Structure 1
Amino acid sequence: MCFVEFSVCSGKVGYLANKEEQGQRWGDNRPSARLRVEFEFYKMLKSEEIWCVGGVACIAGEDNCPDHSPSLSSWNPGHNPEKAMVVRGGDLFRLDSSATFYSLTIQSGGRLVVFADNTEGSKNITLRTRNVLIEDGGSLHIGAPKCRYRSRATITLLGRSDEKAVAEVPELGRKFIGVRGGATLELHGTERLSWTLLTRSIPSSGLATGGYAFQRNFSRGINLRVVDQDTAAVLFTERYDTYDSRNDSRRLMHLLQSLPAGRIVTLAVGDSATKNLLDETKRTIQSLLGSTYVHDLKYRQAWALVSVIGGGNGSCSEDVREHENHDTGGKALARKNFTTVDGVGFSVTKTANPTDLICALLGFPISGFQVDAVDQVVLNLQDDVHTWQPGNHVVVASTDYSMHQAEEFTLLPCPHCTSRQVRVQGRPQFGHMGEIVDGVDMRAEVALLSRNILIYGEMENTCYGNNWCQFFGHDTYGGHIKIFGNFTSVHLSHVELRNMGQQEQGRYPVHFHRCGDVDWRGGYREPAYVDGLSIHHSFSRCITIHATNGLLVKDTVGYDTLGHCFFLEDGMEQRNTFFHNLGLVTRPGTLLPTDRNETMCTSIRDKVYKNYTPSPSMECKAVSTFWIANPNNNLISNAAAGSQDAGIWYVFHSSSTGDSHGLFPETRAELTPLGIFYNNRVHSNFKAGLFIDKGVKTTNASAADPREYLCLDNNARFRPHENADPNRPRVAALIDTLIAFKNNDLGAWIRGGDITIQNSGFADNGVGLSFASDGSYPKDEGSSQEVTQSLFVGESRNRGFNGGQNKYWGQGGADGKMRTLPRNRTFPIRGFQIYDGPVRITQSTFRNYIPTKERFTSAVGFNLKNTWQLTPRNNLSKLSFQPTVGLRAFFGRPGQWFDENDLDGDKNSIFHDVDGSVTGYRDTYVGRADNYLIRHPGCINITQWNGVVCSGTYSQVYIQTQGASSLSLSISRDDYPEAPLVLRGINSQGALSQQYQPILMMSKSYTLHWNGPAPREIVLSLINFNQGDWVLVGLCYPSDTTFQVMADINDRQSNIFDDISDYGLLWLYLRARQGRDGHSYCSVKGCERVKVMATTSSSKLTCNCTAKAYPKYTKTPSAVVPMPTLSNQPCKDCGASQVSLVVHHTVFVPLVCNSIGKGMKPGIFLVSVDACSGKVTNKRFFSKMDSKMEEYLKTGLPKR
C-alpha cells in the first residue's frame, strides 16, 4: 500500500499507479469552484518523491545513508581557525569529529558528508567557520530523506560586518553557506512535527481558574481556604474566631466534616486562635487533615497548614513558629504541590505571621494564601508530538491583538503526559486560546523551534558599526544561505536556523537566488523543497524566493524575524507552493520601504529624490509574514500569527523588478489568475490579516516622482483574466476557508474584481471583512466580489489579556465584561464593510455585535469618511443575525471616527436587501436616513441605524465637469425640494475636472445647482441603469446661456462614438435604451451618456436656481414601487450552513498501489480524482513518461 499525502483543496487530484485503485478515502470534501491542480503540484506536495510505476509497488527516493558509502574517507581535520580548507576534486570525506576552519570550499568533484552519524544519535559534531562555499560539482550532505541524521550537527558561521581584513566573496559577502550552479546541498534532520494547535486553553496563570493571591491583616482566630483538587479553584473562604467564640470552633469542625475526601484545605492563625479552640475541633483537624501541631498550639503562636481531607499525615504540610517578643522570625509557612485533572501542577501556600514587624507591633497580624502554577504546566495539543524532547524549545502564538503575547518555553520531562501533551518550564504570562470560540477556530499555534541540525550565526552582545544601530539594540549581522541557479540538487528538511540573515540586500536565512524553474519544468526529477525548517530570531526574512518558480516550502516555522518573512522578491515568481507553514512575530526591517516602520521610513532617505520625506502610511508600513508579489502561487494551510502590519499581503508588480527587470516577459501580476488559496489563518496582525491591494513603484526616484524605488504604490488593482489578458474572459479568484481573528484593524481587505470568499470565519477584528470591489464606474467594468457561507463574530468569548502591548481595555461583548479592544475604545467595530461595489454577501451568519455607550458596533457598515461612490448593486441576502446582534447595520453619525459624516460616499451609502433577511422587507434598499433622493412616504425609518428602508429602483448618474473643479453640487428631487443632497466632489480642490456620482430613484425628476458659476462642460453618464430606466434632470445655467447637447454611446474599449444627436435642451430626459449584462455598469453597447457644453456671458454668477425652480416644479411625494409588507416568516436557508469554521490541520488522501496484474503491459497508469467528491474521473495508460503524457497532464484534466 502506498500513501501519498496531498492537501485536498480544489480541482483535480491525480496519481500514478499500475492498476485501478481498490478504494479511496478523503480527509476533506470541501467544494471549490474552479481550480485545477496540475501534475507538478502533485509532486510538490510530497516531501519525498513517491512513484507507483510499472511492475513494482512503490519506489521512494534515496534509501542509503550517505555517510555509509564505502568510498568515503574518515576525516578529522581538527581546529585551525586560520586555515582556508579546500576539499578538491576526488576528495570524498566523512567528517568524524568537530572542526574549525577559516573557511571551507568544496570544489568540483569533492563530496563532503557532514557529519558522521550512528544509530544511537550520539556522534555530535560542530563545524565552526566563516563560510562554506559549495562550487560546481561539489556537494555537502547531512543525512538523507530515507536516512535521517540522528546525532546533533551544528554549523556555526563566524564573523563581523566590519572586519576589513576579511575579504567579501563576490555575490555572497561574509558569514554564509553558498551553493553555486552545479552544486548539491542535502540537509535532512530527524523528522519532528513542526507545529500544531492547542486543544485546551492556557490561562495567563497556567491554571484554568487563574492564580490566587491573598494577604491582609487579620484579627484573632483561624483563617480557612478550601481549594478544588481537580481545578485549583478556590471554593470557600472564611475566618473563625476560635479565640473568642466556642460556636465558631464548632462551625469550623462541622465545615471540615462536611467536605468530601480529597478536598484541599488550608488553615492559618491570625493573632491568636487557642482560647476557645475546642478539643473536638482539634481532634477533627488531626483526624481529617493529619495535623501534628494543632493539639499543642499556644497563645499567639504562628501556625499554617495545607492538607487534604482524609489524606492523613502524608498529605499534610504544616509549620509552627514560637511567639517571642514580636521577633520578625515568627512566620509560619506551609506549602504543598498538587496536579489538576488537566495535568497542570500547582502549589498551595499558606502563611501565618503574627509578628510581622510594624504591623504586629500595631496589633495587625498578617495571614497569606496563594495558589500558583509550578513548572508543570501541560500543553494539550492536536497532534502526536512524541518526537518533541525534554530540553527542546517551543513557542506558543498569541491569540490576542498583540503579536507580542507569543511566548517561548522549554520542555520538561513528563512521564504522565500522553503523546499529545508536553510539559513546559515556567508559567505563561498571557492567556492562549485552545478552543473554537463562538464558532471560529482560535486555537493557538504551538511550534517546535529545536532541530538536531542547527545552523546559526555567532553574534556580538550588542549592535555595532553600520548595522542600523539607531533602530536595533542588538547585533543583526547573522549568517545566511544563498542558492544560485542551475544547482544540481537542494533539499533542506528539519533544520534549525538561528541568528541568520543580515540587514543587507540578498542576505537571508534561505535565499533561492534567480534559480528559475526548480521543479520538473526545470528538469529536476526530484524538485527542490524546503521542509520542516525552524527559522527563528532572524535578522532578515525567513525564506526568500527570488526569480524562482515551482519551489515547495512546507511545514516551516518563521518566528521573531525582521522584514517580510516568506518573501517573493521581484514579482515574477510563480507556481511556488507554501504548504502548512507558520510565521509569527514579524517585525519591521530596513531593506525595502515596505519593510519599514514609521521611524525607519522617514529616517532612511538615501534613495529618495533630494530632500523628499516619505509618507509612512502611503509608502511604507507594510511588513508582512507572507509577501506574495505574484498571485500565481499556492497558499495552503498556512498560519500568519502576528505581524507588525499584515499577515498575508498580495501585492502586484506592474513589471518584474530588481535583478529581474527587463530579463523576463512582463508578468502583468494584477491580471494574473490567483493560485490556490485554501485553509489559511491570519491573526494578531496590527494592520490586516489578509490584504489584497496595491503595487510597488517600479521607477527610480526623480523630480517627477521623488519616492523611493519599490515603495508601496496605489497603482495596481487585482483583476484576473485568462492568460493575464484583459481581452480574454475573467477568472474568478477563490479564497476558500480563511480564518481571521484578533487583527487590530482589518480581518481582510480585498480590493479588485471577481473575487469570492467562502467557508471563512472572521472574529474580533476591528473590521471583519472589507470588500473594495473595482467594478464601480469608471473602473473594472463587470467585476464583482462575493462572500458566502461565512461567519462573522464581533466580540467573542476570547476576551484577551490586558498586557503584552495591547493598548486598549474596556467593556464589550455580549456579556459586557472587560476585554482587549481593537484600535480604540470608541472604534466602530464592523463585521462586513461595504466599499465601492458591486459586492454581495449571502448565506452568512453574524453574532455578538453589541454597541456600547462608547462605540457603535454593527454587523454591516461602510468605509469611514468615504469620498468615493457606492453602487446600489451592493446586495445582501440569506443572512442570519443571532440575538446577540444589536445593530444589524449602521450608517454613521457625526463624531469621533466619522467626523462630520458628510463626504460624498458617506451620504450615498446604500445596499440592496434582496430577500428581506436584513430588514424584514423583501427587495428593498437601505440607505442614509437623511438622503431624500432615495426616499418616499412609505419608507421605514430605523433610527438606531441612522438608516431608512425604501422600495424602488435605484441607479447612479455619473456627473463629470470641466472648467469649475471646486464647485459643490446640490441635487434636489422634485418630491422633496426642501431636502437637497449636497456633494463636494471626489477629486481634490483645484483639480482640472470634478466628478460626482449620486444615487437616484428611477422615474423621478431632479434639479442640479452649483455654489458658483456653472461648469462650461458637463457629462452625465447612465450608470447601472437597466433598459428603460429613466430620470428627468434639470441643469441650472444663466438665462443667456447657449447649449450644445449631445447624446452618445461610448464603447470604452475602442473609444468609438455612435448615434450622435443634437438636442439643445436644458431639461434632460435620461433614459437607458440598452440592456446591461451581469455586473456591468454600462449597457451591452457601451456607456450611454449626455454631454452638455455651455456658453454664457454671465460667467461669474452663482448658478443656484432653487428659488426659481420651486415651488414651480414641486411634486407630491410618492412611491414608484409600493413598499412590501413586513415578513414575520423565519428565513429559510439563511446563514452559514457550518456552525463552526475550523482549519483543517492535516488533510490527506491514502492511495492504494498494487502490483502489476496478469496480462498488463509495463507502464504508467494515471488516475485522476475529483478533489471535491473523491470520485475517479478518468483513467489513462501510458507506456512511458513522454510528451504525450506531459500534454495530457497539462490539458487533459478539464476544469470542474
Structure 2
Amino acid sequence: MAPVASPSLWPRPTVTSGRQDASPAGSYLSNCPDHSPSLSSWNPGHNPEKAMVVRGGDLFRLDSSATFYSLTIQSGGRLVVFADNTEGSKNITLRTRNVLIEDGGSLHIGAPKCRYRSRATITLLGRSDEKAVAEVPELGRKFIGVRGGATLELHGTERLSWTLLTRSIPSSGLATGGYAFQRNFSRGINLRVVDQDTAAVLFTERYDTYDSRNDSRRLMHLLQSLPVGRIVTLAVGDSATKNLLDETKRTIQSLLGSTYVHDLKYRQAWALVSVIGGGNGSCSEDVREHENHDTGGKALAQKNFSTVDGVGFSVTKTANPIDLICALLGYPISGFQVDAVDQVVLNLQDDVHTWQPGNHVVVASTDYSMHQAEEFTLLPCPHCTSRQVRVQGRPQFGHMGEIVDGMDMRAEVALLSRNILIYGEMENTCYGNNWCQFFGHDTYGGHIKIFGNFTSVHLSHVELRNMGQQEQGRYPVHFHRCGDVDWRGGYREPAYVDGLSIHHSFSRCITIHATNGLLVKDTVGYDTLGHCFFLEDGMEQRNTFFHNLGLVTRPGTLLPTDRNETMCTSIRDKVYKNYTPSPSMECKAVSTFWIANPNNNLISNAAAGSQDAGIWYVFHSSSTGDSHGLFPETRAELTPLGIFYNNRVHSNFKAGLFIDKGVKTTNASAEDPREYLCLDNNARFRPHENADPNRPRVAALIDTLIAFKNNDLGAWIRGGDITIQNSGFADNGVGLSFASDGSYPKDEGSSQEVTQSLFVGESRNRGFNGGQNKYWGQGGTDGKMRTLPRNRTFPIRGFQIYDGPVRITQSTFRNYIPTKERFTSAVGFNLKNTWQLTPRNNLSKLSFQPTVSLRAFFGRPGQWFDENDLDGDKNSIFHDVDGSVTGYRDTYVGRADNYLIRHPGCVNITQWNGVVCSGTYSQVYIQTQGASSLSLSISRDDYPEAPLVLRGINSQGALSQQYQPILMMSKSYTLHWNGPAPREIVLSLINFNQGDWVLVGLCYPSDTTFQVMADINDRQSNIFDDISDYGPSHYTTALLWLYLRARQGRDGHSYCSVKGCERVKVMATTSSSKLTCNCTAKAYPKYTKTPSAVVPMPTLSNQPCKDCGASQVSLVVHHTVFVPLVCNSIGKGMKPGIFLVSVDACSGKVTNKRFFSKMDSKMEEYLKTGLPKR
C-alpha cells in the first residue's frame, strides 16, 4: 500500500478531460484555459430577461461581468472560459438563474496548473414560488447543472484550507482574562501595576496622600522599586494633595513622565497611565477641574500595549471626584480596566501566508457546545510571521491551542474565503413552502448537480455560500448517480473535490449519491443544515474523505435522521395516517459525516461540532432512494470497514463517533407507520470477507481517533469484530462504549477491543460558561468551576462496559475524581441496564495515574441510576486478568451485593460498590413460556439468605421471558418464582468451557409431571443436534435437580460450544397451576452449604505493573500525514535483483520484506497474494 501523503504532497490532477480529450483547446486547458488562441472575447453585457445559449462551435472567453436569465452551454460548441490576468485584477460576476452544461459543453475557471488569480463570482438568482419560471427537469431552479458528457473545471488560487491553533485564545483575548475595577470613595491616589508582557495585574493599592505623609512616602518607595518597563496607573479619588510630598511628586515626574502631578489641586480629577522609565512619550494623563462640589468632568487616561504573544491590550484609568448620580452625597468614583483591543493574533500550526486581509475565518469550539465557534475578519499584520494572523474583534469564548493532559484539543481554524465564489442570492425573510419556518430565514439557495457519464469534473479552492435547498436533490455539491468516477469508470483523471469552502449552507455540504471512487479533501463545511458530508443510498463505496473539516452542523428537514425533535413531530406528511414519530428513536441523528456504507475511507478529518453526531456509520439493508432495485443487495452491515485513520471528533451533542443502527427501507404502512428512511434499530455491523457471512470475519480497525468534549459519548460502537487503537478520549460524558447485543452477539465468536489508548476524565480544558453550554460546576483535579456534560450530577465514565465480549488493554486513565455532586470513574457500566453482561469482558495492562481516585464504579441507587436494580445492573462484572485494576491477578470484580459470585475470601471495595473474587464464572440463560410478570429468585446454597432477584429482559406483561444470571461454576443453586411456575423452561449454557458445571434445582408443585430434553442448538442455522429425551417423570420433592455440565468445548469468544448452544428443556404439567412456586422454606436449611472458594484468592500484589498503560502518553493529531520513504543501500553482498518492502500506509511500519532475483512468476504471485492485508 502506498504511503498517505499530506495535502501539499499529493500529486495534483492534470485536467485534460475525463474519458477522452474532448476539448478543442487541447493542452491549453491543462495549463491556462483562458490563453487558448481559439477563444473569442465575449462581453455580452446585462440582460436579465435573455436566455443565453452557447451553441456548437462557440468558444468564448468571458472578459467582463454579465447578467442572463439563464445560460446553457450546448453540445457541440461548447466552451466558456472566465478571463484572467497575471495581476489577478479581473473581477467578473455572472448573474443568472441557472447554468446548464450539456453533453460536450464545458465551463472553465482556471486549471490545476494555472490557478485562477482574479475574482470570479457566479450568483444564482430566483425564488421557489416564481410560477412564471418553469423548473428544469431533475434540476429545478437556481442551479449549475452538469449533464452526461459535460465538463466543469473550477480552480481557484491555492490557499491552506484549515489548520490548528498552537496557542490558546482566552475568552477576553487575554490569557490573564482582563481586569475591571470601579469603587466609590477611594480618597488619595489609587495605584495598579500591570505586567507589560502578559497584561496581568500584579499589584493594587490605595495611598491616602490627603491624610497621610507616610502613605506618600510608601507610594514613592513602591515606584522606585519597580523595574523599568512596568506599566503603572494612578488616579485621584476625592482628593490627594494635602499630604502629597514634593519628593513623591518628583518621583512620579521622573519615573512616569507626568506633566500634571506637580500642580494638582484640591479635588481635582487626575488619571495617568505610563511605563516606568518611559519618560513623557510613554505617559498618557488627563486632569479635570473641580469647583464648588460641581461634577467638573471625568479624567481619563488610556494607552495601548502588546503582550509578548502579540496580543494588543489597553490600560484605562479614570478619576471622577463627584459622580452625577452621587453628587448630593459627594461620593467620588475611581475606575481601572485592562482589556484586549479589538485585534487578536492567532498563532497557527501551518504556513498561512496565502490568507489575506479581508478574508474570513472561523475558529472551532473546543467546549461541549458547537455554538462557541466564532467567525473573524483578517486584518493587515505586518509584524506577523507566516504562521500568524491578526483578526478583527475579540473572542467571546476561549479556544484551546494546546495539548491538554496528553490530548490534542487544539481548535481548528478554517479559511472561509476563496477567489472563486458561487452563491445563492437570498430573500430577507422566510417565504413560501420551503420549511424555512423552522429556521427563521430564507433557505432556498443555489445548488450544483452533476450527473453520471460526465466528461470531467474537478472543483478546487472554490467558495460556496448560501447554497442548498430544503428539498431532496438540491445540495451545494451533488454527485448524482455517477457510478465509478475513478479509473474503474474509465477516468484518466478521477473526479475530485479539493479545498472547497461550503458555509452557511441550507442543505448539506457534499452529497455522494450512487457514486464511487470520489476524492473529497481539504474541504470545509461550516454552519450547514442537515447531514454535511453525506452518502445517500447506502451503496456508495471506495470514496475517500481526506483532511476535511465540518463544524456547526445543524438539523434540517429533508430526512427523519436530519430532524430535531420539533421537526420530527411536525413533519408528518410521509408517515401512515395520524402516526406521531418518536424523536429519540426515529430522528435526532444529524451528523457531520453520514457514512451509509463502511467501505469508504476517512483519513485525517475533523468533525468539530454537530447537533447530534460527528461521524455516524449507518447501515442500509438494501440500497434506498433512487438506487433501490437498480443495484445488487447492499449488505452494508456485512461489508468490511475502509480505512479509518487519524480522525478528530469533538463538541458534538450525542456522540463523537457512532457506529450503530440502520434506516427503515420500506414505506409507511398500517403494519409499520414510520416514515421511510427513519432511524431503525435493525442493523448490526458484522464485517466479513466479501460481505459474505459464511466467509471469515474481518476486524474493523479504528486507528487514531481523538474524541473530546462530546456531551454524551466520545464513541458508541456496536458490532462484530472491532478494534480501536492509538486513540484518546477526554472530557466526554462517557469516553467509549462498545455494544454487541442483549443476549447473544449477532456475529458469533466476534469481540471488541481497545488498546494503546488514553482516557481523560476531566482535563485542564475547563471550558467557558456560555455559548449554549448548559451546566457549570466544580470538577477536575483542581476542583475549579468548569463546563460539564449532561448535568452537574451525571456519572462521568471513561470506558463503559456493556454487553460483550469486550476487552481493554494497554491503556492509560487520568483525572477521574468524584465530587460531592457526581461519581466520576475510569471504568463503569451502562446505566439502567436490562441486558446481559458476560464475565468474559476483561481488563488488562491498564495504568491508572494518581489523578484517578475511582477506578471502577458499580452504581448506587439515586439520580441517573434509579434503583440500580435492573437485571444487567445486578450482574455487572469484569475479569481483571493481570490484577492491574485491583492488585489481585486473575480475579473477577462484580457488584458487592451479588452473592451468586461471592465466597468468604472475596475482598470488598466499598468505594466502588464492588467486590473482588476468584473463581470461574459463566452464564445460564433461563427462558420461560406460559407465565407472565414473573420474577425469578436465585439462591446459591452457600448463601441462601441472599438471593438474587431478576425481572427478565422482556416487559413484565410478556408471555415469554428470559433471565441471564452470572453463576460461579461448581456450585449449586435453587430457582424460585413469585407466581406459578412456567409450563416450559429452557436453560442454555453460555460461556461454559468444556467440563464446567453447576447444579440447579427448579421449584415446582409436588404433583408436577415433567418432560425433560437436552439438545445442542446451532443458532446460525437453527439446527438441533444431540437430542436426548429423558421421557416423562413424576416427583414429590418440590425441587427438580438438574446437573448442567458442558460436554463440548468453546472456540475463542463464542458464547456457545463449537457445535452450538447446549440446552436443557423442561416441560411441566401440574394441577396446581395457581400456586406460587417458592420452595425456599423447603430447600433451606436442608441444602445449605458452608461457603467456600473453588479457586483460592490470590495475594495482593504491590509490585508496579510492568508494560502497563499506553505507550503514547500524549495523543496528537497527525496533521502532516505522510510517511517519508527513503531508499538507501541495502548492504554489500546482496545479489543483483529486486528487493520489495511493503509499508503500512497509516503507521509507517514495515510489514514485509522479500528479495527476488528477477521479475518472474514467483514475484507476480507474491504481489498478488503475498502482501499482508491491513
* 1:307 equivalenced with 2:274 (yes/no): yes
CA distance in 2, matches of 1:931, 1:327: 81
Offset at 1:1183? 18
CA distance in 1, matches of 2:447, 2:757: 42
Q: For 1:801-840, what per-residue CA distance to the aligned partner results, in whole angstroms no more than 9, with x for missing partners? A: 0000000000011110000000001000000000000000
Give the conservation status (yes or no) of the 8 Å contact 1:623–1:645: yes
Offset at 1:1052? 2.3
Given candidates 119, 122, 130, the residue that maps to 2:97 is: 130
Task: Return closer, same or farther for 1:938/1:1177 CA change in 2, 3 Å cut-off.
Answer: closer
Offset at 1:1184? 18
Q: For 1:618-658, what per-residue CA distance to the aligned partner results, in whole angstroms no more than 9, with x for missing partners? A: 00000000000000000000000000000000000000000
Q: Which shifted more, 1172-1181 or 978-987?
A: 1172-1181
Q: Which shifted more, 930-939 or 1181-1190?
A: 1181-1190
Report the number of matched residues: 1147
Offset at 1:103? 0.4
CA distance in 2, matches of 1:89, 1:17: 22
Give the conservation status (yes or no) of the 8 Å contact 2:549–2:607: yes
Offset at 1:1158? 22
Corresponding residue for 2:1064? Answer: 1090
Task: Return closer, same or farther for 1:1161/1:626 CA change in 2, 3 Å cut-off.
Answer: farther
Task: Return closer, same or farther for 1:975/1:1183 CA change in 2, 3 Å cut-off.
Answer: closer
CA distance in 2, matches of 1:924, 1:965: 37
Give the conservation status (yes or no) of the 8 Å contact 1:775–1:783: no
CA distance in 1, matches of 2:496, 2:1132: 38
Task: Return closer, same or farther for 1:1159/1:974 CA change in 2, 3 Å cut-off.
Answer: closer
Give the conservation status (yes or no) of the 8 Å contact 1:476–1:501: yes
Q: Which shifted more, 1056-1065 or 94-103?
A: 1056-1065
CA distance in 2, matches of 1:1051, 1:250: 95
Gaps of 5+ in 1: 1-6, 19-64
Give the conservation status (yes or no) of the 8 Å contact 2:94–2:123: yes
Offset at 1:1167? 7.9
Look up the SS of the partner of 1:1108 in the other structure: helix
Task: Return closer, same or farther for 1:492/1:466 CA change in 2, 3 Å cut-off.
Answer: same
Task: Return closer, same or farther for 1:1173/1:206 CA change in 2, 3 Å cut-off.
Answer: closer
Task: Return closer, same or farther for 1:781/1:1134 CA change in 2, 3 Å cut-off.
Answer: same
Offset at 1:1084? 1.1
Task: Return closer, same or farther for 1:274/1:1159 CA change in 2, 3 Å cut-off.
Answer: closer
Task: Return closer, same or farther for 1:873/1:1099 CA change in 2, 3 Å cut-off.
Answer: same
CA distance in 2, matches of 1:1183, 1:179: 51
* 1:454 equivalenced with 2:429 (yes/no): no
Task: Return closer, same or farther for 1:510/1:203 CA change in 2, 3 Å cut-off.
Answer: same
Give the conservation status (yes or no) of the 8 Å contact 2:743–2:835: no
Offset at 1:204? 0.2
Give the conservation status (yes or no) of the 8 Å contact 1:375–1:427: yes
Give the conservation status (yes or no) of the 8 Å contact 2:302–2:316: yes
Task: Return closer, same or farther for 1:237/1:978 CA change in 2, 3 Å cut-off.
Answer: same
Give the conservation status (yes or no) of the 8 Å contact 1:794–1:859: yes
CA distance in 1, matches of 2:373, 2:18: 36
Give the conservation status (yes or no) of the 8 Å contact 1:95–1:112: no
CA distance in 2, matches of 1:131, 1:560: 24
Give the conservation status (yes or no) of the 8 Å contact 2:28–2:35: no
Q: For 1:513-546, what per-residue CA distance to the aligned partner results, in whole angstroms no more than 9, with x for missing partners? A: 0000000000000000000000000000000000
Give the conservation status (yes or no) of the 8 Å contact 1:519–1:551: yes
Q: For 1:117-152, what per-residue CA distance to the aligned partner results, in whole angstroms no more than 9, with x for missing partners? A: 011110111000000000000000000000000001
Corresponding residue for 2:928? Answer: 961
CA distance in 1, matches of 2:504, 2:380: 25
Look up the SS of the partner of 1:15 in the other structure: helix
CA distance in 2, matches of 1:243, 1:618: 73
CA distance in 1, matches of 2:39, 2:197: 59
State the identity as a percent: 99
Q: For 1:579-600, what per-residue CA distance to the aligned partner results, in whole angstroms no more than 9, with x for missing partners? A: 0000000000000000000000
Task: Return closer, same or farther for 1:1161/1:711 CA change in 2, 3 Å cut-off.
Answer: farther
Q: For 1:997-1036, what per-residue CA distance to the aligned partner results, in whole angstroms no more than 9, with x for missing partners? A: 1000000000011111111111101000011100000011
Given candidates 779, 782, 793, the residue that maps to 1:812 is: 779
Offset at 1:11? 29
Given candidates 256, 270, 274, the residue that maps to 1:289 is: 256
CA distance in 2, matches of 1:799, 1:103: 53
Offset at 1:1159? 23
Task: Return closer, same or farther for 1:1027/1:1163 CA change in 2, 3 Å cut-off.
Answer: closer
Task: Return closer, same or farther for 1:1160/1:1137 CA change in 2, 3 Å cut-off.
Answer: closer
Offset at 1:1053? 2.9
Offset at 1:170? 0.3
Q: Which shifted more, 1144-1153 or 135-144?
A: 1144-1153
Task: Return closer, same or farther for 1:545/1:288 CA change in 2, 3 Å cut-off.
Answer: same
Task: Return closer, same or farther for 1:651/1:157 CA change in 2, 3 Å cut-off.
Answer: same
Offset at 1:1061? 2.4
Offset at 1:1175? 7.6
Offset at 1:9? 30
Corresponding residue for 1:1166? Answer: 1140
CA distance in 1, matches of 2:33, 2:1141: 35
Give the conservation status (yes or no) of the 8 Å contact 1:753–1:775: no
Counterparts in 2 of 1:474-485, with a 5 A limit? 474-485=441-452
Counterparts in 2 of 1:374-393, with a 5 A limit? 374-393=341-360
CA distance in 1, matches of 2:499, 2:250: 62
Q: Which shifted more, 685-694 or 1158-1167?
A: 1158-1167
Q: Which shifted more, 937-946 or 1184-1193?
A: 1184-1193
Given candidates 60, 81, 84, the residue that maps to 1:117 is: 84
Offset at 1:361? 3.1
* 1:1072 equivalenced with 2:1046 (yes/no): yes
Give the conservation status (yes or no) of the 8 Å contact 2:189–2:207: yes
Offset at 1:468? 1.5
Give the conservation status (yes or no) of the 8 Å contact 2:598–2:640: yes
Offset at 1:1178? 8.8
Look up the SS of the partner of 1:706 in the other structure: coil
Look up the SS of the partner of 1:814 in the other structure: coil
Offset at 1:1121? 0.5
Look up the SS of the partner of 1:360 in the other structure: coil
Give the conservation status (yes or no) of the 8 Å contact 2:16–2:29: no
Task: Return closer, same or farther for 1:1154/1:962 CA change in 2, 3 Å cut-off.
Answer: closer
Give the conservation status (yes or no) of the 8 Å contact 1:9–1:1171: no
CA distance in 2, matches of 1:626, 1:98: 37
Look up the SS of the partner of 1:357 in the other structure: coil
Look up the SS of the partner of 2:130 in the other structure: coil
Q: For 1:174-223, what per-residue CA distance to the aligned partner results, in whole angstroms no more than 9, with x for missing partners? A: 00000000000000000000000000000000001111111111331000
Task: Return closer, same or farther for 1:668/1:425 CA change in 2, 3 Å cut-off.
Answer: same
Give the conservation status (yes or no) of the 8 Å contact 1:10–1:1171: no
Give the conservation status (yes or no) of the 8 Å contact 1:17–1:1166: no
Offset at 1:327? 3.9
Task: Return closer, same or farther for 1:224/1:1177 CA change in 2, 3 Å cut-off.
Answer: closer
Task: Return closer, same or farther for 1:944/1:725 CA change in 2, 3 Å cut-off.
Answer: same
Given candidates 1120, 1124, 1143, the residue that maps to 2:1098 is: 1124
Offset at 1:781? 1.5
CA distance in 1, matches of 2:743, 2:670: 33
Offset at 1:324? 2.9
Task: Return closer, same or farther for 1:1172/1:477 CA change in 2, 3 Å cut-off.
Answer: closer
Give the conservation status (yes or no) of the 8 Å contact 2:30–2:111: no
Q: For 1:884-940, what per-residue CA distance to the aligned partner results, in whole angstroms no more than 9, with x for missing partners? A: 111100000111000010000000000000011111111000000110000011111
Give the conservation status (yes or no) of the 8 Å contact 1:133–1:178: yes
Q: For 1:949-1008, what per-residue CA distance to the aligned partner results, in whole angstroms no more than 9, with x for missing partners? A: 100000000111111132111101001111110100001233241111100000000001
Q: Which shifted more, 326-335 or 340-349?
A: 326-335
Task: Return closer, same or farther for 1:487/1:454 CA change in 2, 3 Å cut-off.
Answer: same
Q: Which shifted more, 1025-1034 or 779-788?
A: 779-788
Task: Return closer, same or farther for 1:888/1:1158 CA change in 2, 3 Å cut-off.
Answer: closer
CA distance in 2, matches of 1:529, 1:861: 44
CA distance in 2, matches of 1:438, 1:1092: 57
Q: For 1:304-339, what per-residue CA distance to the aligned partner results, in whole angstroms no more than 9, with x for missing partners? A: 000000000000000000003444451000000000
TM-score, scaled to structure 1: 0.92
Task: Return closer, same or farther for 1:1190/1:548 CA change in 2, 3 Å cut-off.
Answer: farther
Task: Return closer, same or farther for 1:470/1:629 CA change in 2, 3 Å cut-off.
Answer: same
Task: Return closer, same or farther for 1:185/1:1181 CA change in 2, 3 Å cut-off.
Answer: farther
Task: Return closer, same or farther for 1:667/1:539 CA change in 2, 3 Å cut-off.
Answer: same
Q: For 1:698-743, what per-residue CA distance to the aligned partner results, in whole angstroms no more than 9, with x for missing partners? A: 0000000000000000000111000111111000000000000000
Q: For 1:17-51, what per-residue CA distance to the aligned partner results, in whole angstroms no more than 9, with x for missing partners? A: 99xxxxxxxxxxxxxxxxxxxxxxxxxxxxxxxxx
